[in-house]
Structure 1
Amino acid sequence: MTDVLTTRVPSVDDIVATARTGFDALRSADAGTRAGWLEAVAREIDTAADSIAADIHADTGKPPKWAAIEVERAASIVRLAAREAVALHPEAQRLDAQPSGVGRLALTVRVPRGPVLALAPFNFPLHLTVHKVAPAIAAGASVVVVPSPRTPRTAAAFAGVLERAGLPDGAVHVAPASPDHTLTWELIRDPRLPVVSVTGSDPVGWRIVDAVPRKQVVAELGGNAAAVIAPDLVGLDDLRHAASRIATFAFYNAGQACTSPQRVYVPRDRLGEFTDLLVTQARAQDLHADVGPVIDDAGADRIRRWITDAVAGGARVATGDDGTSHPDGDARFIRPTVLIEPPEDARVLTEEVFGPVVSVLAYEDIDDALRAVDDSRYGLSVGIFTHDVRLAFRAGAELEVGQVVIGDVPTFRSDVTPFGGVKGSGRGREGVRATIEDYTVTRTVVFAEAGW
């Protein structure tokens, strides 16, 4: 049985001892058993899907349709991990390429580094927690989960799922989250938890990396995602499709996604036409059913300041928040906002907005657009709307990002591919198989012929 949230705050030693018990049970279990546990977790998520989605909505304000999709996707990730649990085969290699290896065979196996400390964010409190937990179970590693203090209901619901799934004692421990993060930092620094997986902000993530340089730290630290409307995209249907996709994913979850399109580069001669289409799509987003609120008043105030600063620098608000009114009297709701050509140093371009704001910028030729995409300290994902195969290959080869999406928004993410960024966007990779590789190390076992 896995540990669940309690009113008593356990000590670091208590938490580590629990994780160690779970680690011993998981790594000694056969692949089929670990896969069975994961399948049980997925079934429990399915059974409690409506209730968990309601908890996500209550914690974050996320629109119910997006909360339901998050729960559905979480169950899918767990099932993918169950498949990977039985696919972790040793690799056999003959060694007779050198004389000393004649008559010998090597088997390379992957073994878990140790218990994992998983630090979860508020914006996808179930989905991104599962991305850390499920691969660990598949690999045979226990997990200590520290949820966001903003999502206590979701954390408790997930702990209940794990308990009902019948995992071994200590397999997953959902630790209490406190606003001052004192316990969290003690866990980060504890050498008995050799792996840290964090999804969070740029400065906090790198602070963790710097604090524990000898640990395996997988850090997904956000982005400043761009979308490019290529010059070959001249048909109205193509432009309308791109505008629809960009509007949907720039504003869903109130823009609180690390791959939400934040910068959109458009050929100068199509700027007006595309902007009109994007504004139409932005105004079609329902503030409650599609967008939702940002997480708190402080976040909303910051976003409005950045909009005001951009306008003061010369940007035009094509539609959206004017920085003064609050829809329905709730400051956390920000209308989907489209800015036209903010100055290069505006924070809506240089930082991660993490709000329902997208900026449209004109370019003269595609070389300028690709350079502008890379002119960022982040490098997570980019979307290129094009039918030009040569441009697609060039973007994939040249852009300094972790993912290039051809024909769609940068928000697309597959749970079976490696996902992560370069530069300020972090290090390491998520995605079920990629996470397993980050949580494990190789061990080579050499077999020699008898009688040597």
Structure 2
Amino acid sequence: MMNKSLACLKTQHLLINGEWVETKEYTDLHSPYSGEVIAHIAKATKNETDQAIETALQMRRVMAKMPAYQRAEILENLVSLLHERSEEAAEIIAMEAAKPIATARDEVLRTIETYKFAAEEAKRIYGETLPLDAARGGVNRLAYTVREPLGVIGAITPFNFPMNLVAHKIGPAIATGNTIVLKPAAQTPLSSYFIAELLLEAGLPAGALNVITGDGQEIGDQIVTDDRVKMITFTGSPAVGIGIKNKAGLKRVTLELGSNAAVIIDQGVDLDQVVSRCVSGAFSFQGQVCISLQRVYIHEELYDEFVSKIVEETEKLVMGDPLHEETEVSALISSKDVERTLSWIDEAKSQGANVVTGGKVQGNILYPTILTEAGPHLKVSCNEVFAPILVIDKVKSVEDAIEQVNDSRFGLQAGIYTNDIHTALYAADELYVGGVMINDIPTFRVDNMPYGGVKESGNGREGLKYAIEEMTEMKLVVWNRN
């Protein structure tokens, strides 16, 4: 295990042009679980942010001209280095995010796989030939398309998957020959700096990736509005994402925002196959996942049995220090989030909802909480809780459930359990979300699938092949052979 005293004393500088840059001010980074200071983090000013953007701008031609095999080799080297230091990576995530160590290890494994996919996709960025002679004026002309890098990518990432969601931005950016200015979440910068250090060792040219930390609004606004930055890729809250969209002008913008993801459980389903998946989907990493299961709509015939079984399974979860092997649920990311979620639970109770388990805190740990009889207008139902809170409602039919799932300003992913193929196909057609999971929870994701939502859940798609399309510009070339 990492030497805790060394971690606590770490002073983290900015990374600009391949060098560690000191700043005038540093802020203390606290453990969400213990409250202890675990690092001192550089606070960038507008000047350092400008330097990072200018460095990325100057390096854009180097990266654009780099052959695909070299970009792939850099990513493959990173995969090898991350394999070697995977336990250290997991401990960093566990310390700064309070992610239980077993879950943190899973994230590192996914991160490795994400960079593998990026290396593979770097070698297959295709264009196409076009049959211009399908038009009267196109006879004896040859046309084809190529995909070219945009230039400087501004990446703004969240705390909840501080390595893998960074990989979903850095990986395709390197694969496509773009350069990056990365602003990680204030609570989880160490993961990003760790990956940046490994990328330098892996052979990424200095200045191709620049990492800056500091005041989120000040630095974020500067990256979003600077004309040298050609694309913004952001994962975070809808409010911030909408603000970015409004400020970005003609920049390309990919937004991965929030959700209040739901699953439908049809009559006749074997609940023993469903309950453990729902517990995992709702409470893994304290529910701080964009596609965390937040709403269950279950047929009234199965309602009582399901509530009884999921409460029993939930109460088996082990809470505690994220660095302890047995811990399954640990602290929320901040005390403010604890206060917020408790107030939402109190609101629900005052409006007639039942807390069938949980609803209490220990330090910054909110016990996994299950609510029933919670109206759709309550915050625990209609907002994104981003906490270990699950709302269960009974329905008379799948049609009724789909209507309630769609009655949301979000639409990232949804799931349905059913034994009827016609019902499954109907749900796939009628659910207004970015992804429909048949016979699974909405929390399912592997890193090469297209991932993104509708409505206030964002626009654009991640998943390596799809992110590469977002991060490249199509150019048309036409030869006149007449």
- What's the TM-score bracket when you normalise by the shorter of the two chains? over 0.9
Shift of 1:22: 2.6
Q: Partner of 1:84 in structure 2?
A: 121
Q: Which amino acid aligns with 2:274?
A: A
Shift of 1:33: 1.0
Given that residues 419 and 429 in structure 1 are in contact (C-alpha distance below 8 angstroms), is that contact kept between their aligned partners in structure 2?
yes
Distance (Å, rounded) in 1 between the aligned partners of 2:166 and 2:152: 15
2:172 counterpart (135, 138, 146): 135
1:304 counterpart (342, 356, 377): 342
Q: Partner of 1:7 in structure 2?
A: 22
1:280 counterpart (291, 304, 312): 312
Shift of 1:6: 2.9
Distance verdict in 2 for CA 1:120–1:229, change over 3 Å: same
Give CA-to-partner distance per residue, 1:343-380, whole Å, 9 cap, x none: 22110001000000001001111111110000100000
Distance (Å, rounded) in 2 between the aligned partners of 1:68 and 1:345: 37
Give CA-to-partner distance per residue, 1:78-108, whole Å, 9 cap, x none: 1101111111123122321123222221111
Q: Partner of 1:436 in structure 2?
A: 468
Distance (Å, rounded) in 1 between the aligned partners of 2:19 and 2:85: 16
Identity between Structure 1 and Structure 2 (%): 36
Per mean C-alpha deviation after superposition, the further-off stretch among 55-64 and 1-10 is 1-10
Shift of 1:180: 4.9
Distance verdict in 2 for CA 1:393–1:2, change over 3 Å: farther
Distance (Å, rounded) in 1 between the aligned partners of 2:287 and 2:242: 23
Q: Partner of 1:220 in structure 2?
A: 256
Distance (Å, rounded) in 2 between the aligned partners of 1:426 and 1:73: 23
Shift of 1:429: 0.7
Q: Which amino acid aligns with 2:127?
A: P
Given that residues 4 and 173 in structure 1 are in contact (C-alpha distance below 8 angstroms), is that contact kept between their aligned partners in structure 2?
no
Q: Partner of 1:205 in structure 2?
A: 241
Structure 1: tracts of 5 or more residues without a match: none
Given that residues 5 and 156 in structure 1 are in contact (C-alpha distance below 8 angstroms), is that contact kept between their aligned partners in structure 2?
no
Shift of 1:60: 0.9
Q: TM-score, normalised by structure 2?
A: 0.89
Q: Is residue 267 of structure 2 the alignment partner of residue 267 of structure 1?
A: no
Root-mean-square deviation (Å): 1.4
- Deviating above 3 A after TM superposition, structure 1's stretches of 4 or more consecutive aligned residues are none
Q: Partner of 2:323 in structure 1?
A: none
Distance (Å, rounded) in 2 between the aligned partners of 1:143 and 1:179: 19
Shift of 1:417: 1.7
2:355 counterpart (317, 322, 329): 317
Distance (Å, rounded) in 2 between the aligned partners of 1:151 and 1:440: 28
Shift of 1:146: 0.3
Q: TM-score, normalised by structure 1?
A: 0.94
Distance (Å, rounded) in 2 between the aligned partners of 1:278 and 1:184: 41
1:347 counterpart (379, 390, 410): 379
After superposition, residues 27-38 of structure 1 pair within 5 angstroms as 27-38=64-75
Distance (Å, rounded) in 2 between the aligned partners of 1:302 and 1:124: 21
Distance (Å, rounded) in 2 between the aligned partners of 1:423 and 1:167: 37
Given that residues 260 and 410 in structure 1 are in contact (C-alpha distance below 8 angstroms), is that contact kept between their aligned partners in structure 2?
yes
**What is the SS of the residue equivalent to 2:443?**
coil
Give CA-to-partner distance per residue, 1:306-344, whole Å, 9 cap, x none: 11111111111111124xxx32xx1x1011111112022
Q: Partner of 1:26 in structure 2?
A: 63
Q: Partner of 1:239 in structure 2?
A: 271
Alignment length, in residue pairs?
439
Given that residues 74 and 199 in structure 2 are in contact (C-alpha distance below 8 angstroms), is that contact kept between their aligned partners in structure 1?
no
2:438 counterpart (394, 403, 406): 406
Shift of 1:162: 1.3
Distance (Å, rounded) in 2 between the aligned partners of 1:140 and 1:394: 42
Distance (Å, rounded) in 1 between the aligned partners of 2:49 and 2:386: 33
Shift of 1:4: 5.4
After superposition, residues 413-432 of structure 1 pair within 5 angstroms as 413-432=445-464
Distance verdict in 2 for CA 1:371–1:5, change over 3 Å: farther
Shift of 1:45: 1.4
Given that residues 21 and 169 in structure 1 are in contact (C-alpha distance below 8 angstroms), is that contact kept between their aligned partners in structure 2?
no
Q: Which amino acid aligns with 1:79?
A: K
Distance (Å, rounded) in 2 between the aligned partners of 1:392 and 1:82: 35
Q: Partner of 1:357 in structure 2?
A: 389
Distance (Å, rounded) in 1 between the aligned partners of 2:198 and 2:455: 36
Shift of 1:5: 4.7
Shift of 1:185: 1.2
Distance (Å, rounded) in 1 between the aligned partners of 2:89 and 2:20: 16
